[in-house]
Amino acid sequence: MLVMSLRILVLLLGLALVPSAWAQEQAFTNRSTELKERGAADARAVGTLAENTEVKVLARSGGWTRVDAGGRSGFVNVFHLRFPVTVESKSGGGGFFSGMTSAMGGGGRKTEKATIATTGIRGLSPEDLKSASPDAAALAKAQSYRADKPTAERFAREGKLTAVSVDNPQGDRR
């Protein structure tokens, strides 16, 4: 009975995860890793996935990614996946993308390339940005949405966000 309730709970938790437009993306494990029942380090492992196991990404949740591994669903550490899709620039690409390709295709793994269709998507082009003239009315409007300190603090309380002290290894000590 308890096991049953736990299963239902796990199922409900799974449903609560946010699926998004990129769901069902193909990914590969970048090392041998455990497939966990829940998204938590102390959760039970339902199996072990060997390095380079193909999975489908179902949802992200903090440090865990819910995946489908050959019909078995579970959670994999966010750092234990790699994604085969690289981006090709229509103009032939700069150093950045060659860097990206080599980083993803490291270790002699196959790197797949996808040609990107952008038709119909209104994006911000470099030309748009370079030729922009300042819009003061829009700036004033943007500034009207600012949150003051009490508003931000109330918002944090509503979300049960509790401030904690962290020593930053980089040096600042707040």
- Of 37, 83, 109, 111, which lies in the binding site for other proteins, with binding defined by CB under 8 A? 83
Listed ranges 3-11, 44-52, 67-75, 156-164: which one lies at the site for other proteins (CB under 8 A) = 156-164
Of 4 and 129, which has the nearer Cβ to other proteins? 129
Instruction: Strand 45-49: give its sheet, edge to edge.
Output: 45-49, 33-36, 72-77, 64-69, 54-61, 25-29, 81-82
Cβ(76)–Cβ(33) under 8 Å? yes
Listed ranges 2-10, 45-53, 67-75, 142-150: which one lies at the site for other proteins (CB under 8 A) = 142-150
- Of 2, 15, 110, 146, which lies in the binding site for other proteins, with binding defined by CB under 8 A? 146
Cβ(24)–Cβ(38) under 8 Å? no
Interaction of residue 147 with other proteins, rule CB under 8 A: yes
**Cα–Cα distance, 1 to 134 (Å, whole number):** 65
| 10, burial (CB in 10 Å: exposed 0-12, middle 13-18, buried 19+) | middle
Interaction of residue 12 with other proteins, rule CB under 8 A: no
Of 4 and 111, which has the nearer Cβ to other proteins? 111
- Of 7, 8, 9, 20, which lies in the binding site for other proteins, with binding defined by CB under 8 A? 20
Nearest alpha carbon to residue 83 among 60, 55, 119, 51: 55
Site string for other proteins, 47-66 (x = CB under 8 A): ----------x-xxxxxxx-
